[in-house]
Structure 1
Amino acid sequence: MSGSLYAVYGASGCGRGIMPLARNQLRKIGVEADRLVFIDDGAGPDRVNGHRVVTYADFFALPACERHVVLAIADGAVRERLAARCTADGIRPWTVAAENVVVMDDVHVGEGAALSPFVTLTSNIRIGRYFHANLYSYVEHDCVIGEFVTFAPGVKCNGNIVIEDHAYIGAGAVIKQGRPGQPLVIGRGAVVGMGAVVTRNVPAGATVVGNPARVREKI
């Protein structure tokens, strides 16, 4: 029987940033680079940065004793749909993390995470499945983060914060520290704009921008 097969789902910008981390992670456990591919169902080249690009159907058809995938898709709703599809087909979620990610005390990260270089997770943190933390993001102490949450580069998530499922936090956003027993809450599906400074709770589904961050009215 063939060995395990690994994939980065998505051959665009996010996937190209995750692929070197995935390759290095596998190299350390003796997995050959040809057992790692991109999955992408869009039209494009057959190879990207030295790795084959295959469709989902082709990946599923390739001989393997096990299949593992990291979902390199920034949109949490799309990640959720792909995760359900992969689970139904017996493809295992794979967490990929840069070598220099810092993880301190009592931190739990759910399956399928993608942790980019210079990410820091300090202490007493709970993070759900399929979390994306991009370059130079951090999560401080006593935070609870839901499933399919995305941090763009440089997000500053300070202590005692709750971020609910499917929230998207834009590049360089700063979230003010909450209080023990009174965390600052970013609601389900909320979007925090690039460079926003969040000083109060954000309602579910809202988009906030600016300093201090305010709800952007729909046009």
Structure 2
Amino acid sequence: MNQPLYAIYGASGCGRGIMPLARIQLQNAGIQLSKLVFIDDNATASEINGHQVLSYASFLKHDARQRFVAIAIANSAVREKLSLQCLADGITPWAVTANNVVTMDNVVIGEGALLSPFVTITSNIRIGKYFHANLYSYVEHDCIIGDYVTFAPGVKCNGNVVIEDHAYIGSGAVIKQGKPGAPLVIGRGAVIGMGAVVTKNVAAGATVVGNPAKPLVKN
């Protein structure tokens, strides 16, 4: 019987950071590592870090009874486009989680999440699909996070925060705790700059930087 085939979509930095976690996850499940590949239509090598690199078309043609894909693309718009294409082609979303990720009480995470080492997600939290949480980031209690949200390394999301779809939170950013019934809201598609300290709501599509975080002024 043909075995399932697993892939990390994207062989650049994000994908190469997720691949070792995927490898451990499959080893723990007793799945042959030969069934773990990269997908990348722009790759210049046929093998990266010990894993075969396939085009998307080749992946679809590969002999397998079921296909699973973890989408390791930082750009959330591209991530959404690829997820919809995979869904249309009958590919199953695959979540990859480091062994030392901590999740506590009443946590719901949508399909396709990628959770890097030392991520902590505490209690009473709802997270949408295709969430990326990079190294040492955390989500505190009573937060709601939308679809295709990206946390760069070291993001500190404190309690009672709402983050809408496609928001990007930069490395080391700190999001102040909101209040029950009056959460701090980061709007759809907003970008929080590296090291920013967010103390109030951020409008949809806005880019904020600094401490305290303020809208970026382009010269």
Task: State the TM-score, normalized to the length of structure 2.
Answer: 0.99
Query: What's 1:208 paired with?
Result: 208
Q: 2: CA distance between counterparts of 1:8 and 1:98?
A: 15
Q: Distance in 2 between matches of 1:122 and 1:110?
A: 16
CA distance in 2, matches of 1:18, 1:67: 18
- Residue 8 of structure 2 corresponds to 8
1:141 & 1:44 partners in 2: Cα distance?
A: 43
Provide the secondary structure at the position in 2 that maps to 1:172: coil
Runs (4+) of structure 1 exceeding 4 A deviation are: none
Q: Which residue of 2 aligns with 1:129?
A: 129
- Given residue 103 of structure 2, which amino acid in structure 1 is its aligned partner? V
5 Å matches for 1:165-176?
Answer: 165-176=165-176
Partner of 2:144: 144
C-alpha distance in structure 2 between counterparts of 1:43 and 1:158, whole Å: 38
Show CA shifts across 1:119-159 (max 9, x none): 00000000000000000000000000000000000000000
Distance 2:200 2:43 in 1: 43
Amino acid at match of 1:42: N
- Secondary structure at the counterpart of residue 148 of structure 2: coil
Q: Partner of 1:111 in structure 2?
A: 111
Q: Aligned letter for 1:78?
A: V
Q: How far, CA to CA, are the matches of 2:43 and 2:16 in structure 1?
A: 16
Mapped to 2, the partners of 1:43 and 1:214 lie a distance apart of 38
- Matched residue, 1:101: 101
Please tell me the residue identity of whatever aligns with 2:54: V
Q: Distance in 2 between matches of 1:82 and 1:89?
A: 11
Q: Residue type of the partner of 1:94?
A: W
Task: Please list, as runs of the form range in 1=range in 2, the aligned pairs for 1:25-36 lying within 5 A after superposition.
Answer: 25-36=25-36
Q: Are 1:187 and 2:177 an aligned pair? A: no
Cross-structure match for 1:163: 163
Instruction: Quote the offset at 1:218 in angstroms.
Output: 4.0
Contact conserved, 2:43 with 2:53, CA < 8 A, in 1? Answer: no
Q: Distance in 2 between matches of 1:28 and 1:194?
A: 35
Q: Which runs of structure 2 are paired with 1:46-125 in the superposition (5 Å)?
A: 46-125=46-125
- Look up the SS of the partner of 2:135 in the other structure: coil
Secondary structure of residue in 2 paired with 1:185: strand
| One-letter amino acid of the counterpart of residue 55, structure 1 | S
Q: What is the alpha-carbon distance in structure 2 between the residues aligned to residue 218 and residue 186 of structure 1?
A: 21
Q: Which amino acid aligns with 1:167?
A: A
Report the Cα distance in structure 1 between the residues aligned to 2:12 and 2:54, rounded to whole angstroms: 13
Write the deviation string for residues 45-102 of structure 1: whole angstroms up to 9, x where unpaired.
Answer: 1111000001000001001110000000011111000000000000010000000000
Question: Secondary structure, in 3 states, of the residue corresponding to 1:70?
Answer: strand
Give me the whole-angstrom Cα distance separating, in 2, the residues matched to 1:82 and 1:139.
26
Name the aligned partner's letter for residue 28 of structure 2: K
Offset, 1:44: 1.1
Name the % identity. Answer: 70
Which letter does structure 2 place at the counterpart of 1:125? I
Structure 2 unmatched runs, 5+: none
- Cα distance in 1 for partners of 2:152, 2:102 equals 17
State how far apart, in whole Å, the 2-side matches of 1:197 and 1:3 are: 48
